[in-house]
């Protein structure tokens, strides 16, 4: 018989897609007020994997990821997604978002993103939010799945996520959680 127990806390990350640096800079400050100090922020990378956001947000678009210092309980992902949606609303002009925020959690085993869109591989978390299993850790690295977004399975992105995982493992060890 399984014995349910609380999982370890996770490393909160936010993927951001944007065109205007001004909107992103303001969003970072808002995120830090809500989720605490940034721990790691990625370099700016072109977001040219899809044209999905171009009609709404324009082009050229860029992508960055940020990770927060404080670890979070995994059951907070739904609330975090709703907070991210509120930040997006602050940067919406004439029904067009100036930025897209994708919160997710890194653990030793996986990267899960929060989304409001249902699909066969997504698990309902509550309050209209689904968990998207995006990467799994296997044989020494995060590995994409058939449905993983192209920018999350990019070699540079995988390398970065692996480094964040290492940082996460040191954090939970330092806190005596493992």
**Sequence spans of domains, the chain:** 10-174
Q: Is the pTM of this model over 0.85?
A: yes
DSSP the chain: -----PPPPEEEEEEEEES-HHHHHHHHHHHHHHH--EEEEPPPEE--S-STTHHHH-SS-EEEEEEEEEEE-GGGHHHHHHHHHHHHHHTEETTEESEEEEEEEE-SSEEEEEES---TTEEEEETTEEEEEEEEEETTEEEE-TT--HHHHSHHHHHHHHHHHHHHHHHHHHTT--
Q: What does pLDDT average to over the chain?
A: 96
- What pLDDT score does 72 carry? 98
Report residues of the chain scoring pLDDT below 50: none
- What pLDDT score does 3 carry? 94
Task: State pLDDT tens for residues 146-171.
Answer: 999 999 999 999 999 999 999 999 99
Region of 21 please: left (phi>0), alpha (psi -120 to 50) or beta. alpha
Task: State pLDDT tens for residues 73-88.
Answer: 999 999 999 999 999 9
Phi, psi at residue 77, to the nearest 5°?
-55, -40
- What pLDDT score does 177 carry? 74
């Amino acid at each position: 018989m399984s014995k349910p127990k609380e999982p370890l806390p996770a490393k909160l990350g936010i993927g951001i897609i944007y065109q205007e640096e001004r909107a992103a800079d303001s969003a970072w400050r808002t995120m830090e007020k809500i989720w605490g100090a940034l721990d790691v922020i990625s370099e700016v990378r072109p977001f040219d994997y899809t044209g999905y956001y171009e009609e709404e947000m324009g082009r050229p678009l860029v992508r960055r990821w940020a990770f927060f210092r404080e670890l979070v309980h995994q059951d907070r992902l739904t609330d975090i997604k709703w907070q991210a949606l509120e930040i997006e609303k602050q940067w919406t002009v004439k029904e067009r978002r100036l930025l897209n925020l994708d919160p997710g959690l890194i653990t030793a085993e996986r990267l899960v993103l929060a989304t409001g869109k249902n699909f066969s591989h997504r698990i309902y978390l509550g309050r209209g939010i689904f968990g998207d299993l995006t990467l799994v850790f296997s044989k020494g690295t995060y590995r994409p799945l058939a449905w993983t977004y192209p920018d999350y399975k990019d070699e540079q992105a995988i390398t970065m996520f692996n480094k964040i995982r290492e940082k996460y493992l040191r954090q939970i060890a330092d806190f005596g959680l493992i």
